Amino acid sequence: MSALMTRIRYALRSARRQRLRTVALVGGVALTTALAAAIACIDLGVRDATTTRAGETRLIVYRENRFCPFASALPQRYDRQIAELPGVAAVVPVKIVVSNCRASLDVVTFRGVPVEDLRAMAPRLAAGSLDAWAGHGNGALVGRELAARRGLRVGSSLTAAGIDVVVDGILESDDPQWRNSALTHLAFLQERAARGGTGGIVTQFDVTVSDPARLEEVARAIDERFKADEAPTATRPQTAFVARAARDVVALAGFSSLIGIGAVLAAFGLLATTMVNVTRHRSREFAVLRTLGFTDGGISAIVLAEGALVGAFGGLLGAGLAWLGLSRAGLAFTMEGVSITPRLDPSIFILASACALVAGLLATAIPAWTASRARLVDLLRGAS
Summarize pLDDT for 263-321 with one digit per residue, the tens: 778 777 877 787 777 666 666 666 666 666 666 667 777 778 888 888 888 899 999 99
Task: Give the H/E segment covering residue 137.
Answer: none
d(CA 238, CA 204): 12
Helix and strand element counts for the chain (H, E): 16, 14
Residues 178 and 262 in one domain: no
Residues 271 and 221 in one domain: no
Q: Is residue 243 part of a domain?
A: no
d(CA 111, CA 89): 21
Q: Is residue 139 part of a domain?
A: yes
Residues 172 and 262 in one domain: no
Q: Is the pLDDT of residue 235 over 90?
A: yes
Residues 129 and 161 in one domain: yes
Query: Which of the listed residues 206, 231, 256 is the one where a domain comes to its end?
Result: 231
Residues 377 and 260 in one domain: yes
Structural domain boundaries, residue 183: 65-231
Phi-psi region of 264 (alpha: psi -120 to 50; beta: other; left: phi over 0): alpha
Q: Is residue 240 part of a domain?
A: no
pTM: predicted TM-score of the whole model, two decimal places: 0.74
- Evaluate whether 86 touches 210 at the Cβ level (below 8 Å): no
What's the confidence (pLDDT) of residue 383? 46
What's the confidence (pLDDT) of residue 371? 65
Give the whole-number percent of the chain exceeding pLDDT 90.
Answer: 30
Residues 89 and 210 in one domain: yes
What's the confidence (pLDDT) of residue 215? 92
Q: Is residue 239 part of a domain?
A: no
Q: Is the pLDDT of residue 223 over 70?
A: yes
Residues 280 and 205 in one domain: no
| Biggest CA-to-CA distance, the chain | 92
Q: Is residue 60 part of a domain?
A: no
Provide mean pLDDT across the span 241-264. Answer: 73
Give Cβ neighbours of residue 280 (< 8 Å, ≥ 6 apart).
Answer: 367, 382
Q: Is residue 57 part of a domain?
A: no
Query: Which of the listed residues 198, 231, 264 is the one where a domain comes to its end?
Result: 231
d(CA 163, CA 194): 9
Residues 71 and 30 in one domain: no
Domain count across the chain:
2
Provide mean pLDDT across the span 136-152. Answer: 90
- pLDDT tens digits for range 351-369: 989 988 888 888 888 777 7
Residues 131 and 227 in one domain: yes
pLDDT band at 79 (very low <50, low <70, confident <90, very high): very high
pLDDT band at 177 (very low <50, low <70, confident <90, very high): confident
Residues 138 and 280 in one domain: no
Query: Which of the listed residues 231, 264, 292 is the one where a domain comes to its end?
Result: 231
CB atoms within 10 A of CB 151: 7
Q: Is the pLDDT of residue 161 over 80?
A: yes
Judging by DSSP bridges, how do beta strands 181-185 and 109-113 pair with one another? parallel
Q: Is residue 321 part of a domain?
A: yes
What's the confidence (pLDDT) of residue 54? 66
Residues 85 and 195 in one domain: yes
d(CA 200, CA 10): 75
Residues 210 and 75 in one domain: yes
Q: Is residue 105 part of a domain?
A: yes
Provide mean pLDDT across the span 12-31. Answer: 78
